[in-house]
Structure 1
Amino acid sequence: MNQFRPGATMPSGIGTWVRNRRTKSARQPAILFSGEVQTYDALSDRIDRLASGLSSQGIAKGDRVAYLGSNHPSLIETMLASALLGAVFVPLNTRLTEIEISYQLEHSSARMLILSPEHRATGEAAAKTAGVRDVVPLAEEYERLLHNGRAPAPVEVDLHDPAVIIYTSGTTGHPKGAVLTHGNLTWNALNVIVDYDVTSKTRALMISPLFHAAALGMGALPTLLKGGLLLLEERFDPSQALRAIEEHRVTSLSGVPTTFQLLMEDPTWDATDLSSLQSLTCGGSAVPSRVRDEYERRGLQFSSGYGLTESSPGVTCLPSQYSSTHGQSSGLAHFFTEVRIGESAHDAAGEIEVRGPNVFSGYWQDPIATSSAFTDDGWLRTGDVGIIDEAGFLTIVGRSKDMIISGGENIYCAEVEHAILTIPGVTGAAVIGVPHERWGEVPHALVTLEPGARLDRDWFVEQLSSTLARYKVPRTVDVLEDLPRTATGKVRKHVLLAQVLNGQAPNL
């Protein structure tokens, strides 16, 4: 058992990272946003003064401080200033409705909400309903908090103390608040640094929202810990992202398959200098072969990975050197993390289970859900189904809850979706189960197509029948302009199911 206990003069939380980095990298750029650079010296000073301002408003250890806004330096400042005080940061998804935001504010018992101008009306209304004590809009009132602030007295923060509460996407029912401790985030950052070779020379373009665990845990925190540069973009615009890569010599870029697809479909793709890129990390699902091929044509290879909010979020990573031989795999377990397959009824497929110091402490105010999230011997049950081969590579088969039972046969949607994405002209795919009088339910496909492409149902079925067992092949398909997604890039299948059952999708 670790006998070291951080004292008042040596807090161990993530809030100290930039303060400590200041002594080593004071003049190095930490954040680039909207053409303005913050050095580590300047960022540390603002974090200290904000922590003092929060303290003057009564924020203390254990209090929850929420943030509603797109990627912005103030999000990083609020998170780390809260951590310095031992308070808990609650980033909110900007795509949520007022009712959803109000629920999360009330459920987390947030004492303060910091919010950006574009979300002020929604945030203030939600905060009023939830009974939040203090609402601090950017930028005037926020800057006033920093104006007279001084470096606060150190607060003892244990690695087991909560640092962040991130609410799950809530695609079914109310979202749950995953509590990530200072230790969880620290060990996850170490995993990323080791497995993705993050250095002080890293220039990470952050185009995914920082209110999500992936961008926060896999991008922002490891880069700051190593003294690299974060280039923050408020929102993803393919043309702007490509300009930033060329102009600022970006070395690291992460996203979901759709992100990389949109980049390569942008008119400026071929003309953009991508020679600075060293790391492309794709999560959410396997990189489609045609996307991988196009990036390889430009001399770029993907590192992919698998994770979930509850593991801070990294579980596995596939280094780029394995992209050609294990391209459909999610890779190997992170350095300080263990992965296993739970008991399965047949074959080698089973529920993916995870153990390690990056695995969360539980769900906020939900002991029942917390208990059910773990096995009797302490492994996190992910709810995802996978296979681990003899070399340790994990392949995702599907979600245990994203499975169709048709005539007694199990159909994993992820397998069918991957097959659909190999069909020429298809850019996106989702498979759902729809009621069937004889079979109980059958798979139904919803796809998006390249501009000008058309899809014939019989040809579609024929293409899939060459790679999938007959019972797995969707006999009906809808062509949509876009698939509804969560901020993490996951398809909102409950929305699609409602549209299909209500006859709102154009069936072929």
Structure 2
Amino acid sequence: MTDTHDHPLSGRIAGVLDLAPSSRAIEFDGTWHSWGELAETARRVSALITTPCQVGILLRNRPEHVAAFLGVLLSGGTVVVINPSRGDDRTRSDIAALELPLVIGGQADLAGLVGPGTATVTIADLDTAPIPSEPIGEHDAGTPLPGIAVRMLTSGTTGPPKRVEITYDMLARSVIGTDFEQAATPTAPRGGVAIVNAPLVHIGGIFRILQCVVAARPFVFLPRFDLERWAAAVRAHRPGAVSLVPAALRMVLHSDLGPADLDGVRVVTSGTAPLSAADADAFQDKFGIPVLTSYAATEFGGGVAGWTLPDHQQFWNTKRGSVGRASGGARLRVVDEDGTALGPDVPGLLEVAPGQLGPTASWVRTTDIARIDADGFLWILGRADQAIIRGGFKIMPDDVRAALEGHPAVGGAAVVARTDDRLGETPVAMVELRAGRHTEVDELVDYLSTRLARYEIPTEIAVVEAIPRTPSGKADLSAVRAHFTATPIGPRPHSESGDPT
């Protein structure tokens, strides 16, 4: 492994920051900041870290937080991602349990979430020098993690988020390529402007920021996905490609935006959560833009499968619903519970040998049920650990969610299991409606009755203003489950007498 402090990824970042200091780097809240401004804050942060160590960052989507992140990578240290939006009590407990030698963040976050005795660095903006609480070099360096670039939070859709260690090598292979050892610094900043609306506390945000930085590509940085601000940025900069998580894509799809608003966009990429083929087709029908879905996981440090534009043009009509083929040097296979590889189109558990781990990567078993056809296209059929067993019948929540989201009034849905004294467990669903649309629960049940087996229809459907979501835009299934646990069971939407079939 390459020495972390001199790692090609750190070298690539340093080279880009010096490439054209006066050129624009980040547009935030209507103001452009240069690569030189970004570099100054990043190097000030790096200079404070005299020994590579674990550094917590209370990450928000702001330019100075990007600079702090890059500064830790320049130092050869490990960024420990801390999400300040998870609730003060949980975040405060998280920071205390981590026992980090140093935490970086905005003044309000540090004052409210970091206890006494922990060294801090306050970052306000790119015009203000970072302010350490004490001489960092005199503080205990804690337990270093050589070779680890980021301790990344998972999305936490099914339970409390956990941290996954992503190495410098993994990040470099994701954003530079498999030949990153030979990668040269770009000879000039890229002209096209990207749009980044993914949160920095999610691997998608880290990945897209680093993609822009290593290519010296300027980008618009949004605090969060906001339809009006996103559309304004697309109209202003006409990017050739944009990335939208499924929830955001559905917002664009069902908005008043038309093809002229997205003029210049050639492809939309979408990941982090399932996107139905019907939504992908509807988006292309409305805007004339193909949607390229992908499959990734925090544990892999990026994507391992996805659609390319040539594949989409050739195969979409016959492979619609697939998340594409292996990418980035990854290998994919489907196995049974004993680990025996299965043939084409036979459902089983997905195993991945991620390209980010190099050509000798071992197989990693996921909890996803999948099938791979003879041409190598991958379909994700659901998660084995989320299957709902209702009176002996297996229900995949994604099947129920997709059926609900097919209703013309539904903007999004989430499906979880609820314990049932008689049947073991039953599906329950939370639904948010499109703006200006209305429907009743009985209408939704009638709609589902022609699309699902009787036992798959939720025993309760809650229509809410907005489904709780994680920073990555996925439905927060823990919060959805808590809603139904705390809510008394009302009238059943359909009869529960007799066999659930």
Mark yes or no: TM-score above 0.5: yes
Tell me, yes or no, if structure 1 residue 89 matches structure 2 residue 79: yes
Aligned match of 1:406? 390
Return the offset for 1:213.
Answer: 0.2
Give the whole-Å Cα distance in 2 for the aligned partners of 1:7 and 1:60.
12
| C-alpha distance after superposition, 1:30-58 (max 9, x if no partner) | 32223333444553344333322x23xxx
Aligned match of 1:235? 224
After the TM superposition, which residues 288-437 of structure 1 pair with which residues of structure 2 at under 5 Å, given as runs? Answer: 289-290=278-279, 292-321=281-310, 322=312, 323-344=316-337, 348-359=346-357, 378-437=362-421
Tell me, yes or no, if structure 1 residue 124 matches structure 2 residue 111: yes
- Structure 2 SS opposite 1:273: helix
Q: Is the 8 A contact 1:178 1:310 kept in 2?
A: yes
Q: Is the 8 A contact 2:470 2:476 kept in 1?
A: yes
Give the whole-Å Cα distance in 2 for the aligned partners of 1:229 and 1:135.
27
The structure 1 residue matched to 2:153, chosen from 146, 155, 167, is: 167
Aligned match of 1:371? none
Give the whole-Å Cα distance in 1 for the aligned partners of 2:327 and 2:105.
34
Return the offset for 1:250.
Answer: 2.8
After the TM superposition, which residues 128-277 of structure 1 pair with which residues of structure 2 at under 5 Å, given as runs? Answer: 128=115, 131-139=117-125, 143-144=129-130, 161-171=147-157, 174-190=160-176, 200-217=190-207, 219-267=208-256, 269-270=257-258, 273-277=261-265
Q: Which amino acid aligns with 2:88?
A: E
Give the whole-Å Cα distance in 2 for the aligned partners of 1:108 and 1:357.
30
Q: Which amino acid aligns with 1:493?
A: L
Give the whole-Å Cα distance in 2 for the aligned partners of 1:174 and 1:498.
13
- Structure 2 SS opposite 1:467: coil
Aligned match of 1:488? 472
Tell me, yes or no, if structure 1 residue 279 matches structure 2 residue 279: no
Q: Is the 8 A contact 1:136 1:142 kept in 2?
A: no
Q: 1:245 to 1:453 in 2, by over 3 A?
A: closer
Q: Is the 8 A contact 1:305 1:317 kept in 2?
A: yes
Q: Is the 8 A contact 2:122 2:130 kept in 1?
A: no
| C-alpha distance after superposition, 1:214-241 (max 9, x if no partner) | 1211x11122212212211122221111
Give the whole-Å Cα distance in 2 for the aligned partners of 1:272 and 1:109.
52
Give the whole-Å Cα distance in 2 for the aligned partners of 1:306 and 1:22.
31
Tell me, yes or no, if structure 1 residue 108 matches structure 2 residue 98: yes
Give the whole-Å Cα distance in 2 for the aligned partners of 1:341 and 1:107.
38
Give the whole-Å Cα distance in 2 for the aligned partners of 1:435 and 1:6.
51
Aligned match of 2:422? 438
Return the offset for 1:169.
Answer: 3.4
Q: Which amino acid aligns with 2:200?
A: L
Q: Is the 8 A contact 2:387 2:396 kept in 1?
A: yes
Q: Which amino acid aligns with 1:499?
A: H
Return the offset for 1:135.
Answer: 4.1
Q: Is the 8 A contact 1:200 1:228 kept in 2?
A: yes
Return the offset for 1:244.
Answer: 1.1
How high is the TM-score relative to the length of structure 1? 0.81
Q: Is the 8 A contact 1:160 1:183 kept in 2?
A: no
Tell me, yes or no, if structure 1 residue 498 matches structure 2 residue 487: no
Aligned match of 1:374? none
| C-alpha distance after superposition, 1:438-493 (max 9, x if no partner) | 32112222212224544355543343333333322324322222111111222222
Give the CA RMSD over aligned residues: 3.3
**Structure 2: segments with no counterpart, 5+ residues:** 133-144, 181-185, 494-501
Q: 1:464 to 1:298 in 2, by over 3 A?
A: same
| C-alpha distance after superposition, 1:124-154 (max 9, x if no partner) | 232107x5222424249961559xxxxxxxx
Q: Is the 8 A contact 1:191 1:334 kept in 2?
A: no
Return the offset for 1:208.
Answer: 1.7
Aligned match of 2:7? 12
Q: Which amino acid aligns with 1:257?
A: P
Q: Is the 8 A contact 2:18 2:39 kept in 1?
A: no
- Structure 2 SS opposite 1:276: coil
Give the whole-Å Cα distance in 1 for the aligned partners of 2:274 and 2:155.
16
Q: Which amino acid aligns with 1:124?
A: A
Return the offset for 1:339.
Answer: 2.0
**Aligned sequence identity (%):** 25
Q: Which amino acid aligns with 1:263?
A: V
Count of aligned pairs? 462
